[in-house]
Structure 1
Amino acid sequence: MKKLSKSNRILILIAALLIIPAYFTPLWQISLWAPQYPEGLNMKIWIDHLSGNVDQINGVNHYIGMNHIGDEMFPEFTFLIYVIGGLIALGILAFLIGKRWSLYAFFGLMTLFGIGVLVDMYRWGYEYGHTLDPKAAIKVEGMSYQPPLIGYKELLNFIAYSGPDTGSWILIGGVGLLIVAIIRDRFQKPVQAL
């Protein structure tokens, strides 16, 4: 089994350690702008809680019959800290093993995690935007209020934005380092085992 170069092993270690800021920075953000909110309303999604203008967003959304947003809406908050910890541990293990398969396995796990997060965010946004109270004060026939998964979308008189926040950009940078390690591994001469 091909051993990785020292520099590629260091790239794996840095990528694993770059996961740590996920505990201390917001991972996702959803923002809303409207004439009555020109400064915007912003909600940040962290590893275990929500922050930002959540109460104001709930107040606006109440009129169109959307569910109340709260930490309890996200069961992921109860286990995401362990998933992130597991990814860090597996990255460090891949660094210690130092074989080609460990690099590819860690990259595969990080990619699956990213895809899983996007699928979960889409599912949440779909349910949130389509489950409306029929007794809401404002009803627009055939209208749903699903926020965009990534990017901008017009929802009535609001412009909504959804996308990665600081923690996710750092994680994406870590995956980028793994891609660099994979490319370098493809073009490097085999390292002799000691």
Structure 2
Amino acid sequence: MKKASILMIIGPLFLLGLYVFPLWNIMLGAPQYPDPLGINIHINGIRDVKEFDIQNIDGLNHYIGMKTLPKPEEMWEFSTFPIVIGIMIFLGSLVGVLGLLGKVSYHWFLGWFVLMSVLGVLGMYDFNAWMVDYGTNLDPHAIMKLANPDGTPMTYKPPLFGHTKMLNFDVTSLPSTGAWLMFTGMMLTVAAFFAGRKHRGSGIEVSST
């Protein structure tokens, strides 16, 4: 099961990219902003795509009563996610090493993938919940109070994935480099599982834990 175990060791290491590259990207474009404004969402904070983008976005949002974009110390996620990712990298690579030594079976590879997938879904749910609050919990004393055609207050939640129109802004929200590196790493662990199962099915492996 050597090939499968090596894949399992390498796969989680791709998650190290999350400490360098953004996980998600949100861009806002409008006629008055031919060069769109953007934010990159990292596991440890929110950063400008270009200098002053966050400052400009907060300035625009102030008029419609939206809160300023949070600083790292204002959200527990930005201190917790780096720790969780570090633990998962360690556990995944450890499982791969133990597989290489014949201490665990290939089923553990799938177990790591499932656990990482659950954490990913929970992270996306938390991210979406933050965006709902960010786009709907508006200051009642805002300078501009806009309403939908039916008279209900207008909300400004960015899309979790894809494109939407908010006032005269085109808002696009998509995975960024860190997310694709994480996805690649997770797919390598799935490949490790199937490689291990194929190896076991061939009858080469005599025993497993």
**TM-score, scaled relative to structure 2:** 0.85
Partner of 1:94: 95
Looking at structure 2, the residues matched to 183 and 144 of structure 1 have their Cα atoms a distance apart, in angstroms, of: 46
1:34-113 to 2 correspondences below 5 Å? 34-52=30-48, 53-71=53-71, 72-98=73-99, 99-113=105-119
Is the counterpart of residue 118 in structure 1 residue 138 in structure 2?
no
More displaced stretch, 163-172 vs 71-80 = 71-80
Distance in 2 (CA, whole Å) between partners of 1:128 and 1:153 is 16
Q: Which residue of 2 aligns with 1:25?
A: 21
Deviation at 1:183, TM superposition (A): 3.2
Q: Does the Cα contact within 8 Å between 2:44 and 2:82 map onto a contact in 1? A: yes
The percentage of aligned residue pairs carrying the same residue is: 36
Paired letter, 1:37: Y
CA contact (8 A) 2:3 2:195 kept: no
Deviations 1:128-169 (A, max 9, x none): 111001111221123110000011111111111112111111
- What residue in structure 1 maps to residue 3 of structure 2? 7
State the aligned residue count: 190
Residue aligning to 2:158:
147
**1:177 offset after TM fit, Å?**
1.2
Distance 1:56 1:174 in 2: 35
Write the letter of the residue equivalent to 1:136.
A
Of 158, 162, 182, 2:169 maps to: 158
Q: Distance in 2 between matches of 1:62 and 1:170?
A: 35
SS of the aligned residue for 1:42 comes to: strand
Q: CA RMSD in A?
A: 1.6
Partners in 1 of 2:196 and 2:146 — Cα distance? Answer: 55
Unpaired segments ≥5 residues, structure 1: none
1:93 partner amino acid: L
AA aligned to 1:81 is P
> Normalising by the residue count of structure 1, what TM-score does the alignment of the two structures yield?
0.91
Helix, strand or coil at the partner of 1:154: strand
Is the 2:162–2:172 Cα contact (8 Å) retained in structure 1? yes
Mapped pair 1:171 → 2:182: yes
